[in-house]
Structure 1
Amino acid sequence: MSALLRLTPKPAWATPALIGLGLATSLAETMGITLIVAFVYSALGRAGDATAAVGGLLGQALDRAGAVFGSPALMALGILLLILARAFLAYANHAISARVSESISESVRNRIHERYLTAPYAFMQQHEQAQLMEVLGSESWLVADSYRSFTRILIGACSIAVFAIFLLALSWQITLTAVVGSIVMTMLLRRLSRPAQALGRQVKRVHQELGEQMLMTIEGLRTIRAYGQEGTHQERFVRSSAEARRLSMALTRLSALLDPITEVGYLAILFVIVAAAVHGGTSLATVLAAAALLYRLQPHAREIEGHLLFLAQIEPPLRSVRSMLQREVSTHGSQGHLPVPALRQGIRFEGVSFGYADGLPLVLDNVSFEIPAGRTTALVGASGSGKTTLIHLLLRLYEPVAGMIRVDRMPLQDLRRSEWLGLLGVAGQDVDLIEGTVIDNILMADAKASKNDVLDAARMAGVADFVDSLPEGYETWIGQHGHRFSGGQRQRLGLARALLRKPQLLILDEAMNALDNELEHRIREAIAERFSKSTVLIISHRTETACSADHVVHLKGGGVAL
């Protein structure tokens, strides 16, 4: 946990300030208890008896309190002021803690979201979507909770130290008995940590399973209903939900043991102290002060144990958050340093090889070909021949394991990534639509584009043909993954995105295979006219698609077919 907290920025003054306020609160409380003892004896007219009976440093403190306040009325006023001071200090402590905790939560959420956007694509592909949502949407909040628990443990420990000092000033025998009893009770409570960690791991696993079930239901709702699988998915969800309830109840029962164990333990310690005091002839004032101090010490000890148990429970999800924040996970590839204002000569693949994971066959093996600038190149091959993987390499989602991709004779990885991607427009057969309007989805390609540019791209891609019939036109809400739209309509939205960028390199990856021939022909003519001087890369498994291309590359089995 300490390593995780080091990864989260927070004001340098925060932890010392919280500990200082906690100490001040405990000091005000112990002084209040001392004054209460003095007040009781003073009200009975036996102030001197209290001082003589207690003796030592605390006896001197009682004597000084009597001299300062003089009368029981002033002493009661002092007690009231200490109570108010303690309340104010406690409020300040909670206010600062809340501020710092919320700042930590915000920072962690922002950093995890940035990590999702900038981490290597291969790293992100290694994680389930439900896990990524759980880390960002739920587990990231636990970092602030862990910091709050960490500071409360420190404050509680300091408070106990203050109480221990007062007890020691009262009687070293009573202090020794209390310390030995507290150690025994702490060792007993520590036995709860191991099952708490195990339950925490199980809770994380079940929550992830529930997340996967929810995603499957929402994203696959149409398929589930089309095949009549509602009962199967409901049964699976109910089973996971019941497991989550069982584990939650187990954690609740484990946490519920804390209060009775602590209360009974401190009651036993108090009983031993009173019995020893009576047997040893300790004064009533000393026993009364010790009982008051131990009674007020109990909540601090219980709070420490509660936070320790909580930290044990949340350790597994905190590990997941740390794995996303740790510095060892680099950002996606090289950002490059060479400017790339335009694509002038072309792109060349030189002996490029690539595999998605160690031990798996290469998807591309020693691939070499050229994409001339200002011309249309068709990349033709059967499904699984590596066509889409080549696009992933051009988009710098992955890096080749061997070989080199050159743009105008410069290594692709040395080009400034943002400038290079700014030259590209990509449309594929699978289009990811977001929750938003039609215009929102087109603007995914360029959030700063004008409405006229959006409408122009939509007309060129054939989006205008069906948008006019929608209830709110371009402001129509698309909904979850755009399931209400046909495959052809989705592809046209993807095309509009690519065309909006006015790219120098337009990549069409099976981008019109869901369109009818007439519409496809019309869109291709519009693209050819508008982008006659641009570089166009057409990816297809159909040989006839290459008829209009200036240059054709055939892929087969991960290599270039001669």
Structure 2
Amino acid sequence: MPTHPSGRGHGLDVPAPASSDDKAAARAVPLRRVAALFRPYRVQLAAVTAAIVGSAVLGMANPFLLRAVLDRALPERDVGLLGWLVSGMVAVAAVTSVLGVLQTWISTRVGQLVMHRLRTDVFGHLQRQSLAFFTRTRAGEVQSRITNDIGGMQAVVTSTATAVAANLTTVLATVVAMVALSWRLSLISLLVLPPAIWLTRRVARLRRKITEVRQRELADLNVTIEEGLSVSGVQLSKTLGTGAALTDRFTASSARLVDLELRSELAGRWRMATMTIVFAAIPAIIYLGAGLPGTAGTLSVGTVVAFTALQSGLFRPLMGLLNVGVSVTASLALFARIFEYLDLPVEVADPARPVPLDPARVRGRLRFEDVTFSYPDSDTAAVAGINLDVPPGSTLALVGETGSGKSTIAGLVSRLHDPTAGRVTLDGVDLRDVRLADLAAVVGVVSQETYLLHTTIRENLRYAKPDATDAELEAAARAAQIHDLITGLPDGYDTVVGSRGHRFSGGEKQRIAIARTLLRDPRVLVLDEATSALDTETERAVQQAFEELARGRTTITIAHRLSTVRDADQIAVLDHGRIVEAGTHRSLLHGNGRYAALAS
């Protein structure tokens, strides 16, 4: 069997991320990859760092000003010196406050831009995934990763870089100032660092494990909301009487989430509380040390007070630095889930060197050349050895029992899938060599499962062609035999269709979908049970519209009702993914084969 040279049809067996949460959670995320998210904002981060360093350096002036006040200005009653020292304190506070506001504004903006990029990158990448990905992934899981996981990163992404820089700079500057005041007292103060770092690492690992479990529980909660509160979900629960069971399921999931949130917030709190007590006890130790025989008389009152102020000021940035380490470690579980989606290979991708396709010049000749396709995780081919030649402007009808492969062939035409073997060509060009956007402009699809957006009829139609005029909308609606019904509504084309179009009947929704597709004026039409939800009279009217619109177009029609395909130029009968008969309605009836049996 011939295969496409790129071999792109063989990338369909990618494991579903939704079924591998544990693997995602355990996956290591290199910190350099997280840091790479901030690379485009180097200039802004440099400005923030400069503001942080300036603020930290200025802040260290206060203890020395305080020492001068206590040891010189007040004992000597030097009012002039006291005025200058006090003014210096106020000036330091004012400048550091301004620098703090500037730092917060820049860092928050950079963080929000990073989150914006993550959200858009994930959304755009998922848009490029094939249908196979979405059929095996829960919708609530996808939403949870975009909203909950990225939202959970907000504090880390927006403040981590600046918090590290600010706290680290403050700690270093404070330590230098402490050593400058008294290196002996500095040794006493810094003895607490090793146990603090050890405890922080243990707390970080604990919180990361809890975060992994919490995000999976949030995803389950989203799935319950998506399944239970959609129009279809509510309708199902009401008809089956499962509303109470769904509520219990949601309540249990929410209760587990409460417990996980508490555990996440309280993880290591007792350990960190111990460190707080130790830090609080250090000033007393300093006073004791200053009064010991070895140090008595060597330290002035101003030095001891200034040193104590520095040591107290060291606690906040030091604990902040340690807590940032905890937050970053815990957030790696979130980054792992997001990067897992970003690393998904695109199964149906745009070609590296696309062949230009001008919709105005497309003739519409379709060929299936020994095409075989297998769905992921399936041992049997959905279709195998398909050979078809559909001349421009002709009609091909695909008939057969449910599961015979009709919709799979339709999906290959619109590149919802790529062949596992063989190729599908349009005017001699392999569809895998055509940009997806160009192909969508040429191939129009109306499927048996109609999806309407929760907006007006006008906007639903314009979804296919945003620049369509009102006249074009009405022409497409008339062709689909839905214009009169729309104009009879109180708000006409501005009527909101409701969630998934449940405000309309199945036939009305399908005719709106038909109008939406026809608005693009495609050269190739794929009608996958497009009239299955219509009553006999409406189906006849829509069929007449299709016959008029199909002139000059290549049309592939899939239908169970043979009355809708009897006038097709050729009919292919499928059975278990293979073509068992092909011909016209008349010739197949005379052949007394599978088609004749279906017609009887």
Regarding TM over 0.5, the answer is yes
**Alignment partner of 1:433: what SS?**
coil
Residue of structure 2 equivalent to 1:289: 306
Q: 1:213 aligns with which of 224, 232, 250?
A: 224
- Find the counterpart in structure 2 of residue 39 from structure 1: 69
Aligned counterpart, 1:386: 405
2:424 equivalent to 1:405: yes
1:393/1:255 CA distance change after superposition, 3 Å: farther
Shift of 1:10: 3.5
Aligned to 2:339: 322
Aligned-partner Cα distance in 1 for 2:236–2:81: 83
- 2:320 corresponds, among 300, 303, 311, to 303
Give the aligned residue type for 2:81. Answer: S
Q: In the aligned structure 2, how far is the partner of 1:40 from the partner of 1:299?
A: 25
Deviation at 1:427, TM superposition (A): 0.5
2:66–2:302 CA contact under 8 A, matched in 1: no
- The answer to which of 34-43 and 159-168 deviates more is 34-43
Q: Quick check: 2:153–2:331 contact (8 Å CA) kept in 1?
A: no
1:492 alignment partner in structure 2: 511
2:174 corresponds to: 163
Q: Which residue of 1 aligns with 2:244?
A: 231
Q: Decide which of 387, 393, 398 is 1:368's aligned counterpart.
A: 387
User: In the alignment, is the contact (CA less than 8 A) between 2:217 and 2:253 conserved in 1?
Assistant: yes
> Could you say what secondary structure the match of 1:351 adopts?
strand
Matched, 1:24 2:54: yes
Contact 1:429–1:511, Cα closer than 8 Å, also in 2 = yes
Alpha-carbon distance in 1 for matches of 2:124, 2:263: 36
Rounded Cα–Cα distance in structure 2 between residues aligned with 1:520 and 1:87? 73
Corresponding position of 1:110: 120
Kept after mapping to 1: 8 A contact 2:385/2:578: yes
Counterparts in 2 of 1:146 and 1:127: CA distance versus 1, 3 Å: farther
Tell me by how many angstroms 1:239 deviates.
0.7
* 2:478 counterpart (442, 459, 463): 459
2: CA distance between counterparts of 1:512 and 1:331?
29
Query: Does structure 1 residue 274 correspond to structure 2 residue 287?
Result: yes
Give 1:337 deviation, angstroms. Answer: 1.9
1:43 & 1:285 partners in 2: Cα distance?
Answer: 11
- Tell me the SS of whatever aligns to 1:310: helix
Percentage of pairs with the same residue: 25
Deviations 1:433-457 (A, max 9, x none): 1110011112221112111111111
In structure 2, relative to structure 1, the CA distance for the partners of 1:336 and 1:129 (3 Å cut) is farther
The residue identity in structure 2 corresponding to 1:271 is A
DSSP-derived class of the 2:75 partner:
coil
Instruction: State how far apart, in whole Å, the 1-side matches of 2:156 and 2:342 are.
Output: 16
2:93 to 67, 83, 90: 83
Q: Which of 553, 556, 559 in structure 2 is aligned with 1:540? A: 559
Rounded to whole Å, the distance in 2 between the matches of 1:399 and 1:46 is 89
Is the contact between residue 348 and residue 417 of structure 2 (CA under 8 Å) also seen in structure 1?
Answer: no
2:541 maps to 1:522: yes
Say whether 1:550 aligns with 2:569: yes
Question: CA 1:126 to 1:265, structure 2 compared with 1: closer, same or farther past 3 Å?
Answer: farther
Distance 1:363 1:330 in 2: 17
**Residue 189 of structure 1: how far off its partner (Å):** 2.6
Query: What TM-score, normalized by structure 2, do the two folds share?
Result: 0.85
Would the alpha carbon gap of residues 134 and 425 (structure 1) be closer, same or farther in structure 2, given more than 3 Å must change?
Answer: same
Letter in 1 for 2:326: L
The 2-side partners of 1:13 and 1:330 are apart by 37
Tell me the residue number matched to 1:54: none
Q: Is the 8 A contact 1:9 1:104 kept in 2?
A: no
| SS of alignment partner, residue 45 of structure 1 | helix
**2:13 equivalent to 1:13:** no
> C-alpha deviations, 1:102-150, integer Å up to 9, x for none?
2222222222222222244444544321121122223224445323213
The question of whether the paired residues in 2 share the 8 Å contact of 1:336 and 1:417 is answered with no
The one-letter code matched in structure 2 to 1:384 is: G
2:156 matches 1:146: yes
Deviation at 1:365, TM superposition (A): 1.7
Q: Distance in 2 between matches of 1:71 and 1:264?
A: 38
Aligned pair count reads: 542
Measure, in 2, the Cα distance between the counterparts of 1:238 and 1:259.
33
The 1-side partners of 2:168 and 2:127 are apart by 41
State whether residues 505 and 534 of structure 1, in contact with CA within 8 Å, keep that contact through their aligned partners in structure 2.
yes
2:176 maps to a residue whose letter is: I
In structure 1, which of residues 130, 152, 158 is the aligned counterpart of residue 140 of structure 2? 130
Mapped contact 1:437–1:475 kept (Cα < 8 A) = yes
- Tell me if the contact between 1:335 and 1:417 (Cα under 8 Å) persists in the aligned partners: no
Q: Note closer, same or farther for the CA distance 1:33–1:331 as it changes in structure 2 (3 Å cut).
A: farther
Query: How big is the shift at 1:544?
Result: 3.4
Aligned residue number for residue 55 of structure 1: none
User: CA, structure 1 residues 9+188, in 2 after alignment: closer, same or farther (shift >3 Å)?
Assistant: closer
Residue in structure 2 matching 1:414, options 430, 433, 444: 433
**Amino acid paired to 1:222:** Q
Is 2:526 the partner of 1:512? no
Q: State which drifts further: 373-382 or 537-546.
A: 537-546
Q: 1:327 to 1:208 in 2, by over 3 A?
A: closer
Please name the residue that 1:95 is paired with.
105
Q: Deviations over 1:210-256 (max 9, x none)?
A: 10011012221111112221111111111111111111112222275
C-alpha separation between the residues in 2 aligned to 1:258 and 1:480? 50
Distance 1:543 1:330 in 2: 35
Matching residue's letter, 1:550 = D
CA distance in 2, matches of 1:246, 1:373: 64
Q: Provide the C-alpha distance between the structure 2 equivalents of 1:330 and 1:544, rounded to a whole number of angstroms.
A: 37
Match of 1:406, SS state, is: strand
Equivalence for 1:197: 208
Match for residue 580 of structure 2? 561
Contact 1:5 1:143 in 2 (8 A): no
Q: 1:396 to 1:427 in 2, by over 3 A?
A: same
Question: So what's the TM-score if we normalise by structure 1?
Answer: 0.91
RMSD (CA atoms): 2.3
1:106 maps to a residue whose letter is H
Report if aligned partners of 2:364, 2:523 keep a CA contact under 8 Å in 1: no
CA distance in 2, matches of 1:126, 1:189: 40
Query: Would you say the 8 A contact 1:181–1:269 is kept in 2?
Result: no
Structure 2: gaps (5+ residues):
1-30, 582-600
